[in-house]
Amino acid sequence: MYKFNPILKTLVWGTESWVLSGVPGDESVVSEGPDAGKKISDIYPGQFPLLIKFIDAHDDLSIQVHPDDEVAAKRHGCKGKTEMWYIIGARPGAHLLSGMKEQLDPSKYVDYVRGGHIVDALARYDVKEGDVFFLPAGRVHAIGGGCYLAEIQETSDITYRIYDYDRPGLDGKPRQLHTEEAKDVIDYSVLPDYRTSYEHSENAEVSLVKCSHFTTGLLELSRPYQRPLDDCGSFLVLISLEGNCTIRTGTESLTLSPGQAVLIPANADVAAGAVTIIPTEDNTKLLTTHI
């Protein structure tokens, strides 16, 4: 099992903590144990496929979209970005934007951006703790100020910034926009609801998102829980949202606190092919994710 030092980033709208990253130049480093100091590329063959962040938005993020794998490979030589959000906390009135509520075409989209009206074409959601949004590549979106959330995404840092409220960056200069680059990667379809619905269940894993890039579940625990690893491919990641817990695999044991993640290789070295999660507080909440 591996925990990592967080990679902290200060941005014009707030802060990010990258708790698990294989992004070149921003690789996670093991924080404790016999492998402390090693990069994730030293312990995982190839590039780690997921980037996991905690995002604290003090102000509205730019309106943006991400290309899919095909376009990103062609234009940038990297993966695209499909992602998901789990809202951990939200101040009163906090909201986000996800998906089109008005039917646009590429030409009308450009007119809306240049006229400063693109916000009017997007679906707006007031958010609360526990809300989930799945964001496939091509879906226009923006996190609003006052949202604190966990984000799971493909290992990619490619963002097409569509609109940024005419504000300067940290250097005092306007941030670059990618209006034209975004035009042909946007999914212009209109859906009735862009939220992800699910039923809460205590002491059982609840499925949130399953796509070709990652599978994510929610655990709300009040007692010890044993999570099998036979469906996880090469790894399972546990992401702590609320409450401290102890994670055990065979003779290994570590503590996990909110804002941290642990990478568990799903191999023969893990005793009985399972991980045991022992909550040390009544309300312990984690995300599980794997590919």
Both tokens of residue 197? 């619905």
Q: Rounded to whole angstroms, how far apart are CA atoms 291 and 280?
A: 28
> Which residues, including other chains, have CB under 8 Å from residue 231's CB and lie 6 or more apart?
290
Q: Rounded to whole angstroms, how far apart are CA atoms 223 and 54?
A: 25
Residue 203 φ/ψ region, left for φ over 0, alpha for ψ in the -120 to 50 degree band, beta for the rest: left
User: Among this protein's residues, is 161 annotated catalytic?
Assistant: yes
Are 149 and 55 spatial neighbours (Cβ–Cβ below 8 Å)? yes
Q: Rounded to whole angstroms, how far apart are CA atoms 162 and 112?
A: 11
DSSP 125-169: EE--TT-EEEE-TT--EEEPTTEEEEEEEES----EEEE-TT-B-
Among all chains, which residue has been given the structure tokens 């893990």?
270
Q: Rounded to whole angstroms, how far apart are CA atoms 286 and 211?
A: 19
Both tokens of residue 165? 């409220």
Determine which one of 91, 114, 161, 248 is catalytic.
161
Q: Rounded to whole angstroms, how far apart are CA atoms 260 and 224?
A: 19
Catalytic annotation, residues: 161
